[in-house]
Amino acid sequence: MARFYQPIETQGIYDRGANRLTVNQYDTVRIGFRAASPDEYQAVTVDTSENVDKARYQVDALAYEIDIDTSQPVTFKITATQDVIMSATGKEMARPLEIVVRRQSYIGKPAVGQQRDPAACWAASLSYWLSVADGRDQRRFEDILGDFNGVWDRTGFLNVRALRNQIHGQHSRYRMVTEQISPAKLDSLFGRWPMIVGFKHPGGFGHMNVLTAYDSSASLVRAMDPWFPEPPPNSFMRADDGQVIFNGTEGDFTFTGYIAYRNPGYYHSPMKSGAIVVGYPEEYVTRMP
C-alpha cells in the first residue's frame, strides 16, 4: 500500500491518531511518498491542499520527496489519489496526511540572563526554554536555582549527569528528552525546537544556550545566550565546591542575556567528556512510521 513518510532530516511532532505532523515555521521540511509498485507510482497523483509544494525529488523507482514551503503558518493536507473511471474524486491510495506549520514560539519572549551568578547559565537557559516550549508553564530563573543542586563540578563544567537526572525527576514540568551526543550529530537535530545545548565556551568553561531556529541559507542558528554582557575582567574566583563566583570587584554588574545568531560550529566544542548535551521537547520522539 502507498504511504507518506517522514525523511530523516525532517523534524516534527507526529500525532498518530490524527495522522498529523506539526513542524516549525522556517524549518527545512520534506515529506516523502512511497508507492507499493512501479505501476502505482505512475498512476498515483500527490497533491497539497495549499500552494506549499516548492520542489519534488525522485528518491528511487518507487518514491519521491516534496520540499514544503514553511515561510508562513498554515495547515494543509497531502493526498495521494488514483483516477477512477466515472468518478470525479478518485480513489485514496494513502491515508491523507495533515501538516501544521506553526508560528515561531519565541516571538516576543525576552532573553533570560544569569543575573549575578557566573555559574548559572543552565538555570537561565531552562527558564527561557520553558518560556518558549509549547505547553509548558514559565518559571523564573531564581526559582529554577532553588529546584536543582550540584549541577557544576570542581573544574567549572556542568555536572551533566546531575542535571539530566534532575530534569528527568521534574518530568511533569519539563517533559524534556536529554541526550549526550557527539558534536557531529547536533545539526541533524535542528528543528527540535527549542533545544538546550551544553558545550565548551570559547573561554574554556562549560556553558549552556537555547537554540530556537536555523537559517540554512545563511548557516546561522538563533540562540539565547544568558552570558551577556561580558563581565569586568579579573572579577571571578572559584569557591571551595568548584563553583565560579564573583570576587566582589564586579560592582553592580548583572548578566542580562541576549539573542545571538551564530554559525552552528560555535556549538560543536565538546565538554571534557567529549560530548555535548542537548535537551528538546519529548514530543519529537514519535515519528511517522
State residue 246 phi and psi, 5-degree precision. -70, 150
Give, as one character, the DSSP assignment of residue 173.
Answer: H
| HEC readout, 102-131 | ECCCCCCCCCCCCECCCCCHHHHHHHHHHH
Calculate the CA 153 to chain-centre distance.
27
Residue 247: CB partners within 8 Å, gap ≥ 6?
234, 235, 236, 237
Contacts of 286 (CB under 8 A, 6+ apart): 13, 14, 16
The verdict on whether omega for the bond into residue 194 sits within 30 degrees of 0, i.e. cis, is yes
Could you tell me if 59 and 137 are in contact, meaning their C-beta atoms sit under 8 angstroms apart? no
| CB neighbour list of residue 159: distance below 8 Å, 6 or more residues apart | 150, 151, 152, 153
Cα angle: 193, vertex 284, 124; to 5 degrees: 40
Residue 283 has pLDDT above 70, yes or no: yes
Alpha carbon distance 82, 279 (integer Å): 43
Domains of the chain, CATH where assigned? 3-102 (2.60.40.10), 121-285 (3.90.70)
Residue type, 246: F
Q: Taking a C-beta distance cutoff of 8 angstroms, is the pair 133, 121 a contact?
A: no
Cell representation of residue 286: 514519535
Residue 156, pLDDT above cutoff 70? no
Cα torsion for 151, 155, 156, 157, to the nearest 10°? -60
Residue 203 is predicted with a pLDDT of: 84
pLDDT in tens, 187-244: 999 999 999 999 999 988 889 999 999 999 999 999 999 999 999 988 988 777 667 7
Are 216 and 103 in contact by the 8 Å Cβ rule? The answer is no
Confidence tier at 89 by pLDDT (50, 70, 90) = confident
pLDDT digits (tens, 9 = 90+) for 103-132: 999 999 999 999 999 889 999 999 999 999
pTM: predicted TM-score of the whole model, two decimal places: 0.93
Compare 177 and 157 and report the one with higher pLDDT.
177
How confident is the prediction for the chain on average, in pLDDT?
Answer: 93
Residue with cell 527561557: 128
